[in-house]
Amino acid sequence: MEKVDYVIWRPPGTDRGAFAEALLGPVADALLAAGARGLQVNVADEAVAGGIMKLVHTDPQMEAVLGAWVDSAAAGPRRPFDAAVAPAGWCAAYLVTESEPLPDPAPPAPGERTSGFANLAFLRRPAELDPADWLARWQDEHTPVAIETQSTFRYVQDVVVRALTPDAPRVAGIVEECFPLEALSDLHAFFDAVGDDDRLTRHLERMSESVSRFGANESIDVVPTSEYVLRRPGT
């Protein structure tokens, strides 16, 4: 199987509720009917509006990702999946490889909303770093820092292999980090430092130094979303 991340922009004039309902309803149904082996929907709905860690680089900013596992991401076999997503709005599709260094210890039943919220981060590789060095700094060096300094309970890294659609924005990696709901509006809760200002300062400093080593301190989009795993791959 291969994983395709469909990154979607909410159409102008469409409210968040209707956008989320379309993705979780007819669009998801069409993807599953087309034969998706796994499907996850992340969408910036009203439940996550006002998240304090939202960062905007792309204007207008993407507001959803549909992660679909398919038998082949080649143009021909992928066509029914592209057609299923098309009614949702403008999208950019990427072939990715998924790594899950921190699985959810208590995953919900298929179709139920994951507890808390999921921040999606869209990474760009700085020109001065070659791909191998960038990947090592992100996956090998930064991963334990992120897990140790944040209240993350699920951590997924999608490395972009290539863009599959014309005019797709340059993206090198897509990160998904699930947090407890309190972290949506509380910096101490986000950085696993509730009631401890010194711990918050230490964690902020470690994170700041670590992300700067692979360029995630600039040219980054971070989008708070609600997460729904509709079908787990291989089930």
Peptide bond into 60 cis (omega under 30): yes
Task: Give the pTM.
Answer: 0.96
Find the DSSP H helices in the chain: 16-22, 28-33, 75-85, 131-135, 143-149, 187-190, 197-212
Per-residue pLDDT reduced to its tens digit, 151-161: 999 999 999 99
Residue keyed to tokens 């990154």: 7
Residue keyed to tokens 């400093």: 205
Per-residue pLDDT reduced to its tens digit, 85-144: 999 999 999 999 999 999 999 999 999 999 999 999 999 999 999 999 999 999 999 999
pLDDT the model gives residue 3: 98
Q: Please say if the pLDDT value at position 83 is more than 90.
A: yes
Residue keyed to tokens 């309190």: 182
Give the SS3 label for residue 160.
strand
The pLDDT-based confidence of 235 (bands split at 50, 70, 90) is confident
- Alpha-carbon distance of 218 to 198, in angstroms, equals 25
**Tokens of residue 193, six digits:** 């430092």
pLDDT the model gives residue 234: 78
Domains annotated for the chain, with CATH where assigned, are 2-231 (3.30.70.100)
Which of 50, 5, 7, 43 is CA-nearest to residue 25?
A: 43
Per-residue pLDDT reduced to its tens digit, 207-217: 999 999 999 99
**Tokens of residue 20, six digits:** 């989320």
For 54, list phi and psi in degrees, rounded to 5. -70, 130
